[in-house]
Amino acid sequence: MLRKLAAIILAASLSLPIVSAADAAPKKDFKICWSIYVGWMPWGYLSDSGIMKKWAEKNGINVEITRINDYVESINQYTAGGFDGCSMTNMDALSIPAGGGVDTTALIIGDFSNGNDAVILKDKAALADIAGQKVNLVELSVSHYLLARALDTVKLAEKDITVVNTSDADMVAAYGTSDVTSVVTWNPLVSEIVAMPGAQKVFDSSQIPGEIIDLMVVNTETLKDNPALGKALVGAWYEAMELMTSDTPEGKAAKEEMAKASGTDLAGFDAQLASTAMFFDPAKAVEFTNGTELPRTMDLVRNFLFSHGILGTNATSVDVVGMSFPDGSTLGDAKNVKLRFDPAFMAEAATATP
């Protein structure tokens, strides 16, 4: 739920020590971190159920999975080298580790938000009515990005509204006050707010499909030196995906455990999954990663980050951080590629014999 990016913490993260290629080497013990969000709940289940342990042992390694309640802190710790991999969005992967100089690979594209993030107005039914309003959101987060994309659709810009930085923890209470008339947030907060009197959802992430992407990323040099880590993580992940989609008592029990860990029940968890485009099938994840829309999306994301001053330290150009894609193409500085979309391990899972 805490998919937020605070500018002050981002600035701190960019000053953290960078994990260089020299720090990566073949090893047996690995640490992965994750935070609460519907699309990342399987990571906790993989640890608790023993599925991760099974796949780690199968590949001759040990993998410790740790839940960190503060999303930004999890990314900061990954960026500092405290973890070998971490769950994060595409936007935050570019701005924090990649922007901070840590070469990072998107190992698993787990899902994209397909309605989980939304713009909500009070007593107004049209997005254009947002003009002139104060908009409460977590500044410089995916909510801020969603707002910018929404404004584009009605020929408005950020200068036409006033952003009020509001913690996600305070969002529901803030909406309940008389002076707050518009918010942008994510589930489960969206579900709570739209149930309140006068609340109208006027734009959501289903209208920009494929742009807010949820990943498991790993340090590129660590993955290069230790392909067993990639095989173990991907193997465990897709076993969980298969279990979640199985019409079995075991599948239901697995989702109930995930729901409980995220603070809801099975019905609430299923409702959140309904607005999450999960790539349960690795072949679908590979197809998405290989698609022509991904570079376009990342171009939108990098321009948003650059325009808000959070694409790397003192960036003078939107091209300062390079990104690479499966077809060999790049965005930004091809000599400074720090974010890589590589479907190789997912593709191996897609062709594996059950």
Q: pLDDT per residue over 101-151, tens digit each? A: 999 999 999 999 999 999 999 999 999 999 999 999 988 888 999 999 999
Question: Closest Cα partner for 260 from 251, 269, 249, 252?
Answer: 269
Provide the CA 314 distance to its chain's centre, in angstroms: 24
CATH class of 117-207: alpha beta
Residue 13 is predicted with a pLDDT of 43
pLDDT at 353 over 80: no
Residues 6+ apart with CB under 8 A from 267: none
Q: What is the DSSP string of 92-149?
A: HHIIIIITTT--EEEEEEEEEESSSEEEEEES--SGGGGTT-EEEE-TTSHHHHHHHH
pLDDT in tens, 56-96: 999 999 999 999 988 888 999 999 999 999 999 999 999 99
Q: Minimum mean pLDDT among 83-87, 191-195, 226-230: which range?
A: 191-195
Residue 20 is predicted with a pLDDT of 43
Do 197 and 188 touch, CB atoms closer than 8 A? no
* CB-count exposure of residue 311 (10 Å: 0-12, 13-18, 19+): buried
Longest dimension (CA), the chain: 59
pLDDT in tens, 265-286: 999 999 999 999 999 999 999 9
Do 43 and 107 touch, CB atoms closer than 8 A? no
pLDDT at 216 over 50: yes
Residue 19 is predicted with a pLDDT of 44
Residues 6+ apart with CB under 8 A from 217: 78, 85, 86, 87, 88, 93, 97, 104, 105, 106, 107
Report the pLDDT averaged over residues 293-304.
96
Share of the chain above pLDDT 70, in %: 92
Residue 312 is predicted with a pLDDT of 72
Residue 24 is predicted with a pLDDT of 58
Question: Which architecture does CATH list for 29-112+211-351?
Answer: 3-Layer(aba) Sandwich (3.40)
pLDDT-based confidence at 324, cuts 50/70/90? very high
pLDDT at 178 over 50: yes
CA–CA separation, 69 and 50 (whole Å): 21
Secondary-structure breakdown of the chain: helix, strand, coil percentages, each rounded to the nearest 5: 45, 20, 35
Residues 6+ apart with CB under 8 A from 336: 320, 321, 322
Ranges assigned E (strand) in the chain: 29-34, 62-67, 85-89, 104-113, 117-122, 134-137, 162-165, 182-186, 199-204, 213-219, 276-278, 322-324, 330-331, 337-341
Residues of the chain with CATH 3.40.190.10: 29-112+211-351, 117-207
Residue 10 is predicted with a pLDDT of 46
Q: Which two tokens stand for residue 256?
A: 């109930």
Residue 101 is predicted with a pLDDT of 94
Report the chain's mean pLDDT, rounded to a whole number.
91
Report the pLDDT averaged over residues 17-21.
43
Residue 263 is predicted with a pLDDT of 84
pLDDT at 238 over 70: yes
CA–CA separation, 328 and 307 (whole Å): 27
